[in-house]
Amino acid sequence: MFWIFYFLKPKVQVHTRDEIYETKQRLYELEEILPKQFLRVSKSTIANVAEIYSLQKSNLSTTSCAAFRNSHKQVFVSRHYSRVLKEKLVEMRMR
């Protein structure tokens, strides 16, 4: 399972490995119903942490870039959410 949720006014796009869907649900609503492996990584993005392959700090800003396994897709992780994401990645790797 590989899903990324992006907020693009007025809808939310759901990205899988191969497809893109749209939903009218808001990100905060999705946060409440998605399994715990999904985490908000920026104001406009929720990502499936279980599918993150790497996390690299950007040289030009305070954001990081998360890459997903078996996919070309990447998302930016804002500074506000990076600490929680790193903790979640460590927690999931320990299992």
The predicted structure's pLDDT at residue 1: 62
Nearest residue to 66 via CA among 52, 78, 46? 52
Strands across the sheet containing 45-48: 20-23, 11-15, 4-8, 45-48, 38-42
10-residue mean pLDDT series, the chain (95 residues): 75 88 92 93 93 84 87 91 92 82
